[in-house]
Amino acid sequence: MSESNSNSNGVSNINIINNNNNNNHHHHSSSSSKEEKGRDLGLYFLEVCRRRGTGAEEGEEKAEEAPSELNTINSSGGFVVVSTDKLSVKYTNVNLHGHDVGVIQANKAAPTKLLLYYFEIYVKDAGAKGQIAIGFTSESFKMRRQPGWEANSCGYHGDDGLLYRGHGKGEPFGPTYTSGDIVGAGINYAAQEFFFTKNGQVVGTVYKDMKGPRFPTIAVHSQNEEVHVNFGQKPFTFDLKEFEVQERMKQQLKIEELPLTSNVSYGIVRSYLLHYGYEDTLNSFDVASRSTVPPIYIAQENGVDEQEIMYALNHRKTLRQLIRDGEIDTAFGKLREWYPQIVEDNTSAMCFLLHCQKFIELVRIGALEEAVKYGRIELSSFFGLPVFEDLVQDCVALLAYEQPLESPVGYLLKDSQREVVADTVNALILSTNPNMKESKNCLHSYLERLLRQLTACCLENRSLSGEQGEAFQLHRVLSSGKRG
């Protein structure tokens, strides 16, 4: 219809379609509020798709820079020689006093957005007096003093086994160490402590009262002392993973002690099943919870909310099934029959997603010509519209590959794409409920709201304590705890 008349401007294509659309009065009217709602809701899921397309993993943080080698620029040059790989240091001077220490820092400060940071040294040679130290210092540290001898630094010294935390006088801390020993230093952000190890065992911990970026630091001070450092490029002698597990457990145990109203979990799982329309599961769930001993009674006080979510359960379940099976045409048919108001606007985000899915299904079965035809009719108009463009481009790109599943746009062929479309349709149907108080309620199940609140609180907590420690990540919780 519009192809011969169209120019390359995507926007005017839309206008042509609009003008030819019998229902164009909807587009000119100042929003029937259902219409507005529909548009908003669909756009939310479109955004979810786009994020998946750019491969931005939900909840994952940008990797912080971590120390990888010794910093030869600001070291106390003249006292030490650093190897070419920047992972060993040797004291070449003859030490005379307390201000000719061969100190060297790592090239980067310790990252903070994790549970633990750790590095190790191997004492190759304790030299004349074994005055080796390992610890953390600040950026402005005086590079001729042992870590721990100056304020805002700390160091565990091999010659006396003492811990120095900013004064010349150290505290009894651990054993001494010498040639052949492997000594490690770490930061425990959860416990706000420094910890040190010797040959795989923790020797002690101390409260971390250092401010600002902490640079891993090693020092040598007597003739011929030589130390090799490991910033994680090689496996550590100390079982850091196990330590991490234990520290997480400690945290978990504290949390487990909190009281929780019984049956809250059941209620949340139930409302999740209701929200997304998993009808069969819900029925089995109800049967099972009634027949447990004692039967689980889920408070129905939120009866009004239940009404909201109970709404159109069977229809939503049917549509989800159709979409998950790739039967988009049938899905469209059912929607026209049951909820014509949400399919009226063919340019809504939901319809767009359904059309894309149809295109994807055609590509999946190898009906490429049909896909092209379909794309020309239904998808071309979305080119040039910023919100829709990315997804259209990715869809069309599928045609370019012999093995589309293995291409960068292969994500479209996965089950999860069908899932997003199904969730969109689900939300839109929920929005047609006259009892729906807030359209936002269609978007998120209770479970999702709770998880968002949890994530936001954890992030805020971390931000208010100097960005130290791990963020809450659901998929880490899910994959943890599997033993054996």
Partner 1 sequence: MSLFWIVIRELAEIEAMAASKKVITREEWEKKLNDVKIRKEDMNKLVMNFLVTEGYVEAAEKFQIESGTEPDIDLATITDRMAVKKAVQSGNVEDAIEKVNDLNPEILDTNPQLFFHLQQQRLIELIRNGKVEEALEFAQEELAPRGEENQSFLEDLERTVALLAFEDVSNCPIGELLDISQRLKTASEVNAAILTSQSHEKDPKLPSLLKMLIWAQKELDEKAAYPHINDLSKAVLEDPAV
Are the C-beta atoms of residues 308 and 435 closer than 8 Å to each other?
yes
Q: Which of 94, 44, 363, 376 is nearest to 225 (CA)?
A: 94
Nearest approach, Cβ of residue 254 and partner 1 (Å): 8
Closer of 250 and 452 to partner 1 (Cβ): 452
Cis preceding linkage at 213, omega within 30: no
Q: Which stretch binds partner 1 (CB under 8 A): 74-82, 138-146, 213-221, 319-327?
A: 319-327
Nearest to 349 by CA among 92, 28, 11, 35: 35
Q: Is 265 in the site for partner 1 (CB under 8 A)?
A: yes
Please select the residue that binds partner 1; options are 178, 223, 281, 330, rule is CB under 8 A. Answer: 281
Output 63 or 478, the one with its CB closest to partner 1: 478
CA nearest to 442, candidates 9, 42, 26: 42
Q: Residues 107, 118: contact at Cβ < 8 Å?
A: no
Query: Which one of 218-226, 266-274, 337-345, 359-367 is the stretch in contact with partner 1 (CB under 8 A)?
Result: 266-274
Considering the rule CB under 8 A, would residue 315 count as an interface residue with partner 1? Answer: no
The residue among 63 and 253 lying less far from partner 1, judged by its C-beta, is: 253
Lay out the site mask for partner 1 across 40-69 (x = CB under 8 A, - = otherwise).
-----------x------xx----------
Question: Measured from the CB atom, is 22 or 300 closer to partner 1?
Answer: 300
| Terminal C-alpha separation, the chain | 63
Structure tokens at 263: 């049956």
Among 31, 201, 252, 307, binds partner 1 (CB under 8 A): 252
Report angle CA 239, 245, 248 to the nearest 5 degrees.
Answer: 140
β-pair type (201-207, 88-91): unpaired
By beta-carbon proximity to partner 1, the closer residue of 6 and 263 is 263
Assigned token pair, 198: 């010797």
**Three-state DSSP class for residue 228:** strand
Q: For residues 49 and 103, which CB has a smaller minimum distance to partner 1 in the complex?
A: 49
Q: Which one of residues 293, 386, 400, 406 is an interface residue with partner 1 (CB under 8 A)? A: 293
Give every CB contact of residue 230 below 8 A, 6+ residues apart in sequence: 87, 119, 120, 121, 122, 236
Site for partner 1 contains 241 (CB under 8 A): no
Binding of residue 318 to partner 1 (CB under 8 A):
no
Q: Which of residues 398-437 bind partner 1 (CB under 8 A)?
A: 415-416, 419-420, 423
Nearer Cβ to partner 1 (109/349): 349
Q: Which residues contact 215 (CB under 8 A, 6 or more apart)?
A: 67, 71, 105, 106, 108, 109, 110, 136, 137, 138, 139, 141
Return the range that interacts with partner 1 (CB under 8 A); candidates 121-129, 151-159, 327-335, 476-484: 476-484
Rule CB under 8 A: say whether 304 interacts with partner 1.
Answer: no
For residues 197 and 135, what is the distance between their CA atoms, to the nearest angstrom? 11
Q: Spell out, one character per residue from 436 to 455, where the chain touches partner 1: x when CB under 8 A holds, - when not.
A: ---------xxxxxxxxxxx
278 near partner 1, judged by CB under 8 A: yes
Cite the beta strand spans of 13-130 per DSSP E.
80-82, 88-91, 102-105, 116-125
Q: Is 307 in the site for partner 1 (CB under 8 A)?
A: no
Per CB under 8 A, does 280 bind partner 1? yes
State how far the Cα of 135 lies from the Cα of 185, in Å rounded to an integer.
Answer: 6
> Residues in the site for partner 1, rule: CB under 8 A?
51, 58-59, 252, 254-256, 258, 260-261, 264-265, 267-269, 272-273, 276, 278-281, 283-285, 287-289, 293-294, 299, 302, 305, 317, 320-321, 324, 415-416, 419-420, 423, 445-461, 464-465, 472, 474-475, 477-478, 481-484
